[in-house]
Each structure stands twice: as C-alpha cells, then as structure tokens.
C-alpha cells in the first residue's frame, strides 16, 4: 500500500479503524514516531485498549460522527432508515442523537 499513500496516512487510517470498531479509546492519539511500523502501531493499540469498554467506545464514536451532521441531513437520514426502524422495532429518533438539535 505504500505506493498508494504515505506511511503516516496508512497508520492514521488503521488507528481510526480500530477506534471506530471500539477496540481502542476514541480519544487516544495516533502514535507519532518516524520509525513506526504496523507491528509497533498495533502494539501501541493494545496498550490503550480496554476490552471491557468496547461497547462504550463504539457508542461514543457513533455519537461523535452523527454530531458532525447538520440538522437537515440528520433528518434526511432518519427518513431514509425509517422503514427499517419500523420493521425491526428500532427507535428512529434516539434521544442521544436528536435531543441536541
């Protein structure tokens, strides 16, 4: 992948993926080392991981991402998923996303 993007960008993308999946704290900064390798990156990820908090980290990341949407776009997305929410009994207007508006 080195021919597609700089090493730093690859490490940042891998780190963000681990954060999105809840495997590491969303607040943990990407390790910064000029000699970084993928093995070193994953070793650092293990240091800042807490398996007992995976659900919390995923939820926190989800909220953070949805908070970047403006009110209009969030409402359009709600309309898009409304049929599935009704079909499967999901809340189409969760308070942790919509009460901030």
pLDDT of res. 27: 86
Q: Assess whether 55 and 89 both reside in one domain.
A: no
Span 34-83, pLDDT tens digits = 788 888 888 989 888 888 998 998 888 888 888 889 999 999 999 999 99
What's the pLDDT at 76? 95
Same domain, 64 and 20: yes
Regarding whether 21 and 37 lie in a shared domain, the answer is yes
The average confidence (pLDDT) of the chain is: 88
Domain count across the chain: 2
Shared-domain flag, residues 52 and 86: no
**Which DSSP string corresponds to the chain?**
-TTTS-HHHHHHHHHHHHHHTTSS-TTPPPP--TT--HHHHHHHHHHT--GGGHHHHHHHHHHHHHTTS-HHHHHHHHHHHHHHHHHHT--SS-HHHHTT-
Domain that holds residue 80: 70-100
State what percent of residues in the chain have pLDDT above 90: 26
Tell which wins on pLDDT, 26 or 74.
74
């Amino acid at each position: 992948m080195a021919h597609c993007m700089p090493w730093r960008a690859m490490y940042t993308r891998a780190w963000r993926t681990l954060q999105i999946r809840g495997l590491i704290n969303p607040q943990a900064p990407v390790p910064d080392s000029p000699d970084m390798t993928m093995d070193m990156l994953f070793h650092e990820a293990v240091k800042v991981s807490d398996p007992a908090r995976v659900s919390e980290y995923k939820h926190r990341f989800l909220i953070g991402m949805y908070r970047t949407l403006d009110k209009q776009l969030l409402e359009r997305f709600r309309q898009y998923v409304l049929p599935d929410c009704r079909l499967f009994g999901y809340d189409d207007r969760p308070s942790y996303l919509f009460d901030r508006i």
